[in-house]
C-alpha cells in the first residue's frame, strides 16, 4: 500500500516522477542517487522486535532519536510501547516534539535529553520545552542545576533531572558518588526540579567485538553505576530511573539487571560497524533495513567503476561501506567528495547506469546528511520520510 509519510515540510521538488509512481513496480529505480533507502517492512520488524525483547525482560525502552531524527519513526516507536524518547541535543528534541504535535500525536510522552545543558539560554529553552512534554534533563555539574532552577522558576514549569554518571566513557558525567550526592542534594533544594534517577551510558562498550569481552566491560561499567546508586539511596533518595545502554549491549544490560530503561537507537537501521562487532550475537539480531543507493557513473577503467556516493554521502568515521550482495567479492573505496570506487572484474561486470546499494559504515551521522529517507518494499517506493531533525546539533 502506497503512503507518502512526509509531514509536508520536506522540499520534494525534483522528485515529481518518483512521487507520481509511488506504489508502482519499478519506482525504486527512479530515486535520484545517492539516496537513503529503507526497507519499510524490516524497519517495522526491528521496531517490534526491540519492543518485544525489552517488554519481555520487564525493562522500559526509550529509543534514541539521534539514530533516525524522524518524527515518523519516533511515533511508531511510541505506539509500539516505548516509555518515551531519548534526544542527544535540545534542538533535536524541540523539532521532534513539534513535529509529533503537528502530526496529531495527542498522547502525553516524555523526552530525555541525554547531553548536559550549559548556560542560561539553553536552560530557558529547556524550561519552555518542558511545557510541551514531560521533559527529563541530565546534569553533571552544580552550575547546571542552578541554571535550570532559575529557568523553570522564570517559565513557571517543572523539570525532572537525572545525575549523569561516567561509567567509563569519560565524555560526560560525575566521576564518583561524592559528586553525585552533592548534585542530588542541590536538586532537592529546588522546588521546581525533581530528582528522578541516574544515567550511565557506556558508549565505549557498544562496538566491542566478541560478546564475552563486551559483557565483561559492561559488567564493570554497571559496577561503577551501582556504587553511585547505592550511595544516593543510602541517603534516602530513591533512584527510580536507571537509564543507559545501547544497541550493542541491550541484551547484556537486561541480563545484568541494573538498568531499568534502555536508550538503544541504531537497532532500527543497523550498519556495518555494528555488524562487524555483533555478528550473530543476540544484540545483533536486527535486520539491515537502511542502505545508500548509488549509481555507476563511469565504467571506463579496468578493474573498477566509479559511483556517485563519496565522502559527502555517508559518515566515514567507521571506514568504508559494504556493497549489498557483493560483501565478500568486491570492495568500496572512497574516491573523493562526490565519488566512490567499486572494484570490478569479469565476475562482477558492473556497467554505467547500474544501481548498487551500500551498507552505511555508521548509520547515525549518515542519516544526518540527508533530508529524506525513501521507504521501499522490494522495487516499489511506498513512501518518503522527512529527516526532520537533520542538523539539529545545538
pLDDT tens readout for residues 224-250: 999 999 999 999 999 999 999 999 999
Same structural domain, 237 and 102: yes
Enumerate residues 6+ apart whose C-beta is below 8 A from 348. 326, 329, 330
Grid cell 517506493 in the structure block, residue: 381
Q: Is the pLDDT of residue 348 over 80?
A: no
pLDDT, residue 19, reads 77
Q: Is 119 exposed, middle or buried (0-12, 13-18, 19+ CB in 10 A)?
A: exposed
Q: Is the pLDDT of residue 1 over 90?
A: no
Q: Is the pLDDT of residue 2 over 70?
A: no
Same structural domain, 160 and 295: no
CATH number for the domain spanning 23: value is 2.40.37.20
In a domain? residue 331: yes
Domain that holds residue 61: 41-271
Q: What is the band of 23 on the pLDDT scale with cuts at 50, 70, 90?
A: confident
pLDDT, residue 11, reads 59
Is 320 or 3 the better-scoring residue by pLDDT?
A: 320
In a domain? residue 278: no
What phi and psi, each to the nearest 5 degrees, are found at residue 225?
-70, -40
Give the mean model confidence (pLDDT) for residues 202-220. 97
Instruction: Report the chain's mean pLDDT, rounded to a whole number.
Output: 95
* Burial per residue of 143-153, b for 16 or more beta-carbon CB atoms within 10 angstroms, e otherwise: ebbbbbbbbbe
pTM tops 0.85, yes or no: yes
Question: Which residue, of 243, 271, 299, is where some domain finishes?
Answer: 271
Number of domains present in the structure of the chain: 2
Same structural domain, 251 and 308: no
In a domain? residue 186: yes
Strand partners, 323: 358
Same structural domain, 33 and 164: no
Question: Which residue, of 242, 271, 300, is where some domain finishes?
Answer: 271
pLDDT tens readout for residues 282-295: 999 999 999 999 99
CATH number for the domain spanning 112: value is 3.20.20.10
pLDDT tens readout for residues 173-191: 999 999 999 999 999 999 9
Question: Which residue, of 271, 303, 327, is where some domain finishes?
Answer: 271
Same structural domain, 360 and 326: yes
| Residues of the chain above pLDDT 90, percent | 92
d(CA 175, CA 75): 35
Amino acid at each position: 500500500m502506497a503512503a507518502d509519510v512526509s509531514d509536508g515540510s520536506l522540499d520534494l521538488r525534483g522528485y515529481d516522477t518518483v512521487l507520481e509512481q509511488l506504489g508502482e513496480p519499478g519506482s525504486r529505480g527512479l530515486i535520484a542517487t545517492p539516496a537513503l533507502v529503507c526497507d519499510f517492512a524490516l524497519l517495522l520488524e526491528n521496531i517490534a522486535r526491540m519492543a518485544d525483547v525489552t517488554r519481555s525482560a520487564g525493562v522500559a525502552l526509550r529509543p534514541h532519536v539521534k539514530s533516525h531524527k524522524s518524527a515518523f519513526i519516533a511515533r511508531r516507536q511510541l505506539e509500539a510501547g516505548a516509555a518515551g524518547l531519548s534526544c542527544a541535543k535540545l534542538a533535536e528534541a524541540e523539532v521532534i516534539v513539534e513535529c509529533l504535535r503537528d502530526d496529531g500525536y495527542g498522547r502525553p510522552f516524555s523526552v530525555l535529553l541525554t547531553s548536559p545543558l550549559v548556560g542560561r539560554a539553553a536552560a530557558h529553552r529547556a524550561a519552555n520545552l518542558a511545557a510541551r512534554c514531560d521533559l527529563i534533563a541530565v546534569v553533571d555539574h552544580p552550575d547546571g542545576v542552578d541554571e535550570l532552577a532559575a529557568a523553570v522558576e522564570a517559565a513557571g514549569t517543572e523539570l525532572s533531572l537525572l545525575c549523569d554518571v561516567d561509567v567509563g566513557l569519560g565524555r560526560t558525567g560525575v566521576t564518583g558518588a561524592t559528586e553525585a550526592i552533592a548534585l542530588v542534594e542541590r536538586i532537592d533544594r529546588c522546588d521546581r526540579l525533581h530528582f528522578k534517577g541516574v544515567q550511565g551510558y557506556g558508549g565505549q562498550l557498544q562496538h566491542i567485538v566478541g560478546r564475552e569481552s563486551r559483557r565483561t566491560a559492561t559488567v564493570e561499567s554497571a559496577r561503577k553505576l551501582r556504587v553511585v546508586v547505592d550511595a544516593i539511596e543510602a541517603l534516602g533518595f530513591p533512584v527510580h530511573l536507571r537509564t543507559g545502554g545501547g544497541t550493542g549491549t541491550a541484551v547484556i544490560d537486561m541480563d545484568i539487571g541494573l538498568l531499568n530503561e534502555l536508550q538503544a537507537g541504531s537497532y532500527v537501521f543497523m550498519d556495518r560497524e555494528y555488524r562487524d562487532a555483533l555478528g550473530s550475537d543476540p544484540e545483533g539480531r536486527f535486520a539491515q533495513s537502511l542502505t545508500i543507493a548509488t549509481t555507476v557513473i563511469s565504467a571506463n577503467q579496468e578493474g573498477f567503476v566509479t559511483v556517485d556516493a563519496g565522502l559527502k554521502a555517508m559518515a566515514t568515521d567507521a571506514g568504508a561501506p559494504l556493497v549489498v550482495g557483493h560483501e565478500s567479492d568486491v570492495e568500496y573505496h572512497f574516491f573523493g567528495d562526490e565519488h566512490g570506487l567499486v572494484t570490478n572484474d569479469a565476475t562482477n561486470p558492473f556497467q554505467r547506469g547500474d544501481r548498487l546499494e551500500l551498507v552505511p559504515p555508521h548509520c547515525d551521522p549518515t542519516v544526518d546528511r540527508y533530508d529524506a529517507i525513501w521507504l521501499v518494499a522490494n522495487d516499489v517506493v511506498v513512501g518518503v520520510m522527512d529527516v526532520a531533525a537533520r542538523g539539529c546539533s545545538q
